[in-house]
């Protein structure tokens, strides 16, 4: 029997945790489903990654309102993926902030990505009809670094290199040494690398480590609340990316086709990572992208709903 496409068979609801990390930082996590970060400054609230739909974002807002009545002024998009951005309208923010590289990707492939992601993982797009027509557009963009002051609280938005996408942005609270990584770091969850830069990602993780975060909110998985946990999250993500890319590069260098490389890579990495959530969902996309990067495509090709299905059929049947 063939595997259900992507995560279409994943229907079990997750338990949400809303964890206070410091006087200013909170983590909304959900057992491996996409996380949202919250920063509460003197005069305003910042939300980092929105959840997949406005209906799902309402649960984030409900929890924020249990701890503060300050206005939600800023939404930061760590990257362009639909599951991170399509809930933005629920917060009615003054500004939606993203890197200019993320804006490029929204312009270039936002529509295709929206259709593709909704098809892959219906459970993550609960009440998808609450998403307004069109895309989520930033109102402020930056390149490299942007600093916001929420009253006396300094919040840095940083591009530390490419990895999960071309436009990855992390949010850094220097006084408390807390970092919100987006999907650059995952914990007990499989990194999705279908739009990734495998050769750049490890250096970007080193750049995160160089900040010496005391706590880190990953894109998926529990908040990492001490330096040992942060180190474990960085090391796990780094080794997965390195192991997948090494296996794919070896197969590509030997002239093997994608399906052969896929099977070999799956066998090579399943013992170490097969228990991480969304492993079976991610692997066909991750290996396809790694094979592209190891052969003919420096930049990720656009996934469409049609390309998703064609790839899945080619690799899984
Ligand atoms: Zn993502």
- For 198-222, write each residue's pLDDT tens digit: 999 999 999 999 999 999 999 999 9
d(CA 83, ligand 1 centre) in Å: 7
Q: Do residues 39 and 45 lie in contact, with contact meaning Cβ atoms separated by under 8 Å?
A: yes
Going from the C-alpha of 221 to that of each of 33, 185, 242, 264, 317, the distances in angstroms are: 7, 9, 20, 27, 30
d(CA 105, ligand 1 centre) in Å: 12
Any idea which of 42-51, 86-95, 251-260, 301-310 has the lowest mean pLDDT?
A: 301-310
d(CA 151, ligand 1 centre) in Å: 30
d(CA 169, ligand 1 centre) in Å: 11
d(CA 152, ligand 1 centre) in Å: 31
For 122, how many CA atoms within 13 A lie in the half-sphere containing its CB? Answer: 7
d(CA 84, ligand 1 centre) in Å: 7
Distance CA 234, CA 190 (A): 13
d(CA 10, ligand 1 centre) in Å: 18
d(CA 73, ligand 1 centre) in Å: 23
Residue-level pLDDT at 316: 86
d(CA 40, ligand 1 centre) in Å: 24
Which among 64, 19, 58, 52 is positioned nearest to 180, based on CA atoms? 19
d(CA 217, ligand 1 centre) in Å: 14
Burial degree of 297 (CB within 10 A; 0-12, 13-18, 19+): exposed
Residue-level pLDDT at 1: 43
d(CA 164, ligand 1 centre) in Å: 7
d(CA 273, ligand 1 centre) in Å: 19
d(CA 45, ligand 1 centre) in Å: 23
Pairing of strands 140-142, 95-99: parallel
Which among 85, 21, 18 is positioned nearest to 230, based on CA atoms? 21
Q: Do residues 110 and 138 lie in contact, with contact meaning Cβ atoms separated by under 8 Å?
A: no
Residue-level pLDDT at 202: 98
Give residue 271's pLDDT band: very low, low, confident or very high (50, 70, 90).
very high
Q: Do residues 157 and 179 lie in contact, with contact meaning Cβ atoms separated by under 8 Å?
A: no
- Mean pLDDT value of segment 244-266: 96
d(CA 1, ligand 1 centre) in Å: 29
For 22, how many CA atoms within 13 A lie in the half-sphere containing its CB? Answer: 24
d(CA 79, ligand 1 centre) in Å: 7
């Amino acid at each position: 029997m063939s595997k259900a496409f992507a995560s279409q068979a994943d229907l079990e609801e997750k338990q949400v945790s809303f964890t206070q990390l410091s006087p200013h930082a909170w983590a909304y996590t959900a057992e491996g489903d996409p996380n949202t970060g919250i920063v509460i400054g003197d005069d305003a609230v910042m939300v980092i990654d929105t959840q997949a739909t406005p209906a799902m974002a309402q649960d984030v807002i409900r929890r924020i309102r249990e701890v503060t009545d300050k206005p939600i002024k800023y939404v930061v998009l760590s990257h362009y993926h639909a599951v991170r951005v399509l809930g933005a309208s629920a917060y009615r923010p003054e500004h939606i902030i993203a890197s200019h590289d993320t804006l490029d990707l929204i312009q270039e492939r936002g529509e295709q990505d929206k259709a593709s992601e909704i098809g892959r993982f219906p459970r993550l797009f609960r009440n998808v009809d609450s998403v307004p027509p069109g895309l989520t557009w930033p109102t402020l963009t930056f390149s490299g670094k942007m600093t916001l002051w929420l009253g006396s609280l300094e919040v840095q938005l940083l591009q530390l290199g490419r990895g999960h996408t071309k436009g990855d942005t992390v949010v850094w609270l220097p006084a408390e040494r807390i970092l919100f990584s987006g999907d650059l770091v995952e914990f007990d969850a499989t990194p999705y690398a279908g739009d990734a830069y495998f050769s750049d990602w490890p250096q970007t993780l080193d750049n995160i480590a160089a900040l010496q975060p005391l706590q880190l909110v990953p894109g998926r998985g529990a908040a990492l609340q001490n330096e040992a946990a942060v180190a474990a999250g960085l090391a796990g993500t780094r080794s997965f990316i390195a192991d997948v890319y090494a296996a794919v590069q070896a197969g590509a260098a030997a002239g093997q086709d994608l399906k052969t490389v896929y099977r070999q890579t799956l066998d090579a990495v399943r013992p170490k990572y097969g228990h991480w959530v969304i492993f079976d969902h991610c692997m066909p996309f991750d290996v396809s992208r790694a094979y592209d990067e190891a052969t003919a495509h420096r930049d990720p090709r656009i996934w469409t709903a049609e390309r998703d299905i064609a790839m899945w059929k080619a690799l899984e049947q």
